[in-house]
Amino acid sequence: MATRRRTWRGRIAAAALLLPTLLAGCGGSQNTLAPHSHAASDISNLFWVMTGIAFGGLALVTGLLVWAWVTRRRRGFRATDPADPHPGEKPAWFVVIGGGVVFPLMVILALFIVGDWAVLNVTQAPAASSTAMTVDAVGHQWYWAFRYPGTKAVTADELHIPVDTRVNLVATTADVIHSFWVPELNRKIDTIPGRQNRILLYADKVGVYRGQCAEFCGLQHAHMGMLVFVQPKTQFRAWLRKQSAPAPAPTTALARRGEDAFLSGPCSSCHAIRGTSARGFVGPDLTHLASRTTLAGVLIPNSRSYLARWIVDSQHLKPGNQMPDFHLTGSKLDALVAYLEGLR
């Protein structure tokens, strides 16, 4: 008996210890409960309404059970005839039908109306005419390419949008099914081969919002993150102008050697750099690589050392990705990194 009690006490203590760890998952930068758009607010409110109703239902059922147990105890348990276990008690049909069928149906219907009509409509893809701009998000194993129709701007993993602006996000895929999800801004939208799916992207506050591919898409699904930079409108316009321009020419002798190595070697068969002969489309567009803060689906920071490591050892950093390891050392690697770092 003592052992059993100790075991239960241990379990309760373990659960109490785990609770903060579980709750810690509710914070951070991918928090559905920290909404920054109308759509995300409605999703968050719906969550609280559903949680409230679920706990209300739990309290009601638990209360009824306790009430039945207490009243039965008060009356005292009697040895009964198995053919008529509750002599003199008639089953209350209105309780069974009302509490077991009508009431749950009403709750589910109310949730359906709130969830489907009210919330889904707000999160829905907008009519093209109601948005100020369009961004194309293309899922790749394993990175996101973002294009801005009407301009030449292409970026990877780091999407920029202006604050307080309704953006029509068109999600497509270059290979398998992915899912575009920025929890603080809206619900998920899948990228389906051969289809264009749209969602409203809107942010009411300047800042950086983290997103994640939310559909299992292969070995590196977990490392298919993205960042949404929400900028003041003028700052965004300046960014877009810069991103639309071709790559700047290398300014140092070292970077010029790096450019030669890039264009004459295997890099250019997979990557594009606008303004040069590199037109590959397997890997991310590198025209303004140095303007990005991260590499490889937000896996590593875009620093000189990580960039060099990525070139020589990307299969160790992100196994299975499309980029082979290049066994470069010394001056050739330095030149390549110097060139890429100049792509602002």
Q: Which residues of 268-307 are buried (b: 16+ CB within 10 A; e: fewer)?
A: bebbbbbebebebeebbbbbbbeebebbbbbbbebeeebb
- Contacting residue, 160, 187, 188, 221, with ligand CUA by CB under 6 A: 221
Mark the segment that binds ligand CUA (CB under 6 A) among 3-11, 71-79, 128-136, 209-217: 209-217
- Contacting residue, 213, 289, 299, 300, with ligand CUA by CB under 6 A: 213
281 binds ligand CUA (CB under 6 A): no
Binding residues with ligand CUA: total (CB under 6 A): 9
Closest CB to ligand CUA among 153 and 217?
217
Q: How far from 287 is each of 173, 295, 304, CA to CA, in Å?
A: 21, 14, 17
226 binds ligand CUA (CB under 6 A): no
271 binds ligand CUA (CB under 6 A): no
Question: What mask, x for binding ligand CUA by CB under 6 A, covers residues 112 to 131?
Answer: --------------------
- Contacting residue, 36, 147, 160, 178, with ligand CUA by CB under 6 A: 178
- Contacting residue, 97, 216, 233, 281, with ligand CUA by CB under 6 A: 216
224 binds ligand CUA (CB under 6 A): yes
217 binds ligand CUA (CB under 6 A): yes
Closest CB to ligand CUA among 36 and 223?
223
CB 191 within 8 A of CB 139: yes
CB of 21 to ligand CUA, least distance (A): 25
139 binds ligand CUA (CB under 6 A): yes
CB of 213 to ligand CUA, least distance (A): 3
How would you classify the pairing of strands 178-181 and 300-301? unpaired
CB of 228 to ligand CUA, least distance (A): 16
215 binds ligand CUA (CB under 6 A): yes
Mark the segment that binds ligand CUA (CB under 6 A) among 3-11, 121-129, 212-220, 250-258: 212-220
CB of 220 to ligand CUA, least distance (A): 8
Closest CB to ligand CUA among 117 and 216?
216
Which stretches of the chain bind ligand CUA, using CB under 6 A?
139, 142, 178, 213, 215-217, 221, 224
